[in-house]
């Protein structure tokens, strides 16, 4: 392994020279194919920490899809329903557990995952490699690769697909250092262990939290640990379904995450699953077509573009049809990286089927937030753990 190497440039092409180096000995990863960029490595190293911790917390193979240093999705290997197989374009495919984990992670927000950096907790096999061959992705980090999987990945992107092999035993220094504008900032690394013990302090009248909800809260909470703050994450059925990252207002985090979760549920509506796409469309074009079909505010130009993607333009879903379908959503888990200062976040979350909530607590309006959760029959736990990430 190398101790350091030069990068093509930094975050932008004009930011050169750029390099990467280890603070202690050799770098903990090998480059098996491709040439990493600055943002590639930011994504890879954050994503790896997420999947490694998610694997440890749940005991299940884990995967993440990262874009611009936040997860577009994360998931563990829970079997797919027939509706999800169709929604994720994997009908008839033989998928290993590690492949299922990534299919779910990418399925959280297929539009945002375009050109992602993939991370998986387990060895990459041919099943996952064959699936990745079908999707637009920039690279992957994993603890190992089967020979046939590596051969498939090395052919992707005309041989330029980034493949990183991470040392699973690597332990980072306790202290991390960052330099901004010539000023050095130093802090203890965020080495807190996220486990279901964080959900023990239930503060609502309803205290019934099933194991599936705890699993989903682990997925959401660990995702937040590596999401740019402020952030709120929705999870369901072992995967992220909406991640609201980088907002200045808590309720805007919830609105963003909830709107993505709504889109996730709507993509499984029978009308969407049976859309008559024009032959020859790529997967990204189909994803964009679905996104446009479900949007409420298209311009005439956008509508014309959308019409060209179908063999015949189907009748678009009305707002009432969408509301009726979304009313069937229930049992969603929501985690927040800091406390909710007002009840408005709970009110919005309830509209998207949220039943289980974890947040640090500590607001002067905790009583009002708990009252709102009680009004909706939610189960809310105060973790006492803030998870800001910048």
pLDDT (mean) for 23-36:
94
The average confidence (pLDDT) of the chain is 96
Does residue 287 share a domain with residue 242?
no
Does residue 287 share a domain with residue 218?
no
Does residue 209 share a domain with residue 144?
no
Structure letter (DSSP) for residue 28: S
Amino acid 200: pLDDT: 97
Amino acid 2: pLDDT: 79
d(CA 171, CA 53): 12
Binned at pLDDT 50, 70 and 90, residue 25 comes out as: confident
Amino acid 3: pLDDT: 86
**Bridge partners for 70 per DSSP:** 67
CATH code of the domain covering residue 292: 1.10.287
pTM: predicted TM-score of the whole model, two decimal places: 0.96
Does residue 249 share a domain with residue 191?
yes
d(CA 134, CA 143): 22
First to last CA, the chain: 28
Total domains, the chain: 3
What residues contact 364, with CB distance under 8 A and at least 6 apart? none
Does residue 240 share a domain with residue 152?
no
pLDDT (mean) for 2-8:
89
pLDDT at 97 over 80: yes
Query: Looking at the domain assignment, is residue 162 inside a domain?
Result: yes
Q: Examine the residue annotation and report whether 260 is marked as an active-site residue of this protein.
A: no
d(CA 92, CA 7): 41
Binned at pLDDT 50, 70 and 90, residue 374 comes out as: very high
The catalytic residue among 68, 86, 157, 252 is 68
Does residue 26 share a domain with residue 121?
yes
Range of the domain at 300: 276-316
What are the pLDDT digits (tens) for 252-280?
999 999 999 999 999 999 999 999 999 99
Query: Looking at the domain assignment, is residue 118 inside a domain?
Result: yes
d(CA 376, CA 380): 11
The catalytic residue among 33, 40, 46, 230 is 230
Amino acid 155: pLDDT: 96
Crossing angle between the packed helical segments 250-266 and 319-326, to the nearest 10 degrees: 90
Amino acid 171: pLDDT: 93
Binned at pLDDT 50, 70 and 90, residue 24 comes out as: confident
CATH code of the domain covering residue 191: 3.40.140.20
Amino acid 297: pLDDT: 85
Length reported for the chain? 390
Does residue 133 share a domain with residue 37?
yes
Does residue 226 share a domain with residue 146?
no
What are the pLDDT digits (tens) for 103-128?
999 999 999 999 999 999 999 999 99
Burial of 187 (0-12, 13-18, 19+ CB in 10 A): exposed
The catalytic residue among 67, 156, 269, 355 is 67
pLDDT (mean) for 207-229:
98
Binned at pLDDT 50, 70 and 90, residue 139 comes out as: very high
C-beta of residue 256 within 8 angstroms of C-beta of residue 244 = yes
**What's the Rg (C-alpha) of the chain?**
21
Query: Looking at the domain assignment, is residue 173 inside a domain?
Result: no
Q: Examine the residue annotation and report whether 390 is marked as an active-site residue of this protein.
A: yes
Nearest CA-CA partner of 379 in 363, 359, 360, 357: 357
Does residue 262 share a domain with residue 280?
no
Does residue 247 share a domain with residue 152?
no
Query: Looking at the domain assignment, is residue 79 inside a domain?
Result: yes
Amino acid 80: pLDDT: 98
Q: Count of CB atoms within 10 A of residue 205's CB?
A: 12
C-beta of residue 289 within 8 angstroms of C-beta of residue 295 = no
Q: What percentage of the chain exceeds 70 in pLDDT?
A: 100
What are the pLDDT digits (tens) for 57-74?
999 999 999 999 999 999
The catalytic residue among 14, 158, 319, 390 is 390
pLDDT (mean) for 329-340:
98
| Max intra-chain CA distance, the chain | 61
Q: Examine the residue annotation and report whether 252 is marked as an active-site residue of this protein.
A: no
Query: Looking at the domain assignment, is residue 178 inside a domain?
Result: no
Does residue 238 share a domain with residue 142?
no
pLDDT at 1 over 80: no
Query: Looking at the domain assignment, is residue 15 inside a domain?
Result: yes
Q: Examine the residue annotation and report whether 86 is marked as an active-site residue of this protein.
A: no
């Amino acid at each position: 392994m190398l101790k350091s190497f030069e990068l093509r440039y930094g975050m932008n092409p004009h930011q050169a020279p750029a390099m990467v180096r280890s603070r202690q000995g050799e770098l903990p990863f090998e480059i098996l194919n491709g040439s990493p960029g600055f943002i590639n490595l930011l994504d890879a190293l954050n994503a790896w920490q997420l999947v490694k911790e998610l694997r440890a917390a749940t005991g299940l193979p884990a995967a993440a899809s990262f874009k611009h240093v936040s997860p577009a999705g994360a998931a563990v290997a829970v079997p797919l329903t027939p509706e999800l197989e169709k929604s994720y374009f994997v009908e008839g495919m033989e998928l290993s557990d590690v492949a299922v984990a990534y299919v779910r992670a990418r399925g959280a927000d297929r539009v945002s995952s375009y050109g992602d950096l993939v991370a998986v907790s387990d060895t990459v096999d041919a099943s996952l490699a064959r699936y990745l061959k079908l999707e637009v992705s920039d690279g992957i980090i994993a603890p190992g690769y089967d020979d046939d999987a590596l051969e498939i990945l090395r052919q992707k992107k005309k041989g330029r697909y980034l493949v990183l092999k991470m040392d699973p035993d690597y332990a980072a220094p306790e202290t991390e250092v960052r330099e901004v504008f010539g000023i050095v900032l130093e802090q203890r690394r965020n080495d807190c262990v996220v486990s279901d013990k964080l959900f023990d302090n239930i503060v609502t009248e309803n205290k019934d939290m099933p194991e599936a909800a705890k699993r989903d809260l682990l997925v959401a909470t660990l995702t937040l640990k590596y999401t740019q703050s402020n952030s709120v994450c929705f999870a369901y059925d072992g995967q992220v379904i909406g991640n609201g990252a980088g907002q200045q207002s808590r309720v805007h985090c919830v609105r963003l995450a909830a709107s993505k979760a709504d889109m996730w549920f709507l993509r499984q509506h029978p009308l969407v699953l049976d859309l008559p796409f024009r032959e020859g469309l790529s997967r990204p074009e189909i994803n964009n077509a679905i996104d446009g079909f479900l949007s409420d505010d298209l311009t005439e130009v956008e509508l014309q573009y959308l019409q060209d993607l179908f063999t015949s333009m189907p009748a678009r879903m009305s707002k009432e049809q969408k509301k009726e379908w979304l009313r069937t959503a229930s049992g969603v888990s929501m985690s927040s990286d800091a406390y909710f200062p007002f009840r408005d976040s709970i009110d919005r979350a309830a509209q998207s089927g949220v039943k289980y909530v974890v947040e640090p607590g500590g607001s002067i309006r905790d009583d009002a937030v708990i009252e709102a959760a009680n009004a909706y029959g939610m189960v809310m736990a105060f973790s006492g753990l803030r998870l800001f990430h910048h």
